[in-house]
Amino acid sequence: MYIYPLAFLIITNNILSFALLLTIAINIFLQLFQLQKANINALAAAISVYLMIGLVFGFIYATMHHLSPLCFRITQQENHLLHHFSMWLYYSFVTLTTLGYGDIIPLSPFAKMLPCLEAILGQMYLAIIIAYVVGLRINTLYAQSS
Evaluate whether residue 142 is within a structural domain: no
pLDDT digit string (tens) for 28-46? 999 988 888 888 888 899 9
Cβ 58 vs Cβ 89: under 8 Å:
yes
Evaluate whether residue 144 is within a structural domain: no
Evaluate whether residue 119 is within a structural domain: yes
* Full residue range of the structural domain in which residue 96 is found: 7-136
Evaluate whether residue 143 is within a structural domain: no
pLDDT digit string (tens) for 120-142? 999 999 999 988 888 888 888 88
- Give me the number of domains the chain comprises: 1
pLDDT digit string (tens) for 5-23? 677 888 888 899 999 999 9
Q: How many CB atoms within 10 Å of residue 91? A: 26
Evaluate whether residue 84 is within a structural domain: yes
Assign residue 116 the CATH number of its domain.
1.10.287.70
Q: Report the pLDDT value the prediction gives residue 1, as an integer from 0 to 100.
A: 45
Could you tell me which residues are beta bridge partners of residue 105?
A: 73
Cβ 118 vs Cβ 106: under 8 Å:
no
Evaluate whether residue 106 is within a structural domain: yes
Closest by CA position to 103, among listed 95, 116, 84 = 95
Evaluate whether residue 46 is within a structural domain: yes
Is 90 exceeded by the pLDDT of residue 100?
Answer: no
Evaluate whether residue 93 is within a structural domain: yes
Closest by CA position to 69, among listed 95, 102, 119, 106 = 106
63 residue type, one letter: T
Please state, in angstroms and rounded to a whole number, the distance separating the CA atoms of residues 61 and 89.
8
